[in-house]
Amino acid sequence: MKTGNCAVSVASGVEREKSMEIKLAPSILSADFAALGEDVRHVTPEADLLHVDVMDGHFVPNLTVGPAVVASLSKCTDLPLDCHLMIESPSDYYEQFAEAGASWITFHREATDDPGAEIEAIRSLGVRVGMSISPDTPFEEAKPWIRSLDLFLVMSVYPGFAGQRFIEAVLPKIESARQLVNESGVDVDIEVDGGIGEETAASAVAAGANVLVAGSAIFGASSPLEAARRIRNAVSELLGTDND
């Protein structure tokens, strides 16, 4: 259910851009895993996607959840499941995540030598395709494939843990991606993930992001729903636009 969308005017870093829908993707990484269904229901009125962080203890030094949890989530929510795979050999698992109910599958550029093959493999499963770059990966490493994606995810913290500080140095990569997408006329969402909250959301949107992932800022708050609303309002206020 989407009830909190806001249309804002954003700057690409190069030019003022058209109005576009901002999507909020709460990350369950900071939710209570013993009460996951309940936590998801709480934020659903302000959520457009549900962000699921998959970590394998190899690509990143942390372990989280896999297809079994995605399958359980898909039974308890209508929100599209935005599965962010921070794992080695991601293509070994695309089918399992697709069968479990993933709507979006995002692999990491750093986890593959052949992004084109990853894109094709995900697309063949009828799932939307995302590719992510970590903070130290240059934009040029992703550029040739961005127009073939549905979602380009720019990490604004080092992948692995919630609650880290937003890295402002990634903003030019968001600007470059927005410029490329707009100039090419392709329909590619630009997502930012890490350290997003009331203070940082607007700068990410101003740079050109239209999908905001937020974990600790939402599920770490006493009222996750109110926290999600505050993030939307911060984006609207700082850009001088209305929130629906």
- In angstroms, give the least distance from the CB of 132 to ligand DX5: 8
Task: Decide which of ligand DX5, Zn ion, none touches 215; Cβ closer than 5 to 8 Å per partner kind.
Answer: ligand DX5
Known catalytic membership, residue 53 = yes
216 binds ligand DX5 (CB under 6 A): yes
Amino acid at 113: D
Dihedral, CA of residue 184, residue 187, residue 193 and residue 197, to nearest 10: 100
Restricted to residues 154-193, the positions that interact with ligand DX5 (CB under 6 A) are 157, 159-160, 162-164, 193
What residue is closest to ligand DX5 based on CB? 215
Number of residues that bind ligand DX5 (CB under 6 A): 21
56 binds Zn ion (CB under 5 A): no
Closest CA to 107 of 21, 92, 1, 224: 92
CA distance 244 to 242: 6
CA distance 193 to 82: 12
80 binds ligand DX5 (CB under 6 A): no
**Tokens standing for residue 185:** 């006329």
79 binds ligand DX5 (CB under 6 A): no
Closest CA to 166 of 119, 219, 213: 213
Where do contacts with ligand DX5 occur on this chain (CB under 6 A)? Answer: 27, 29-30, 51, 53, 84, 157, 159-160, 162-164, 193-196, 213-217
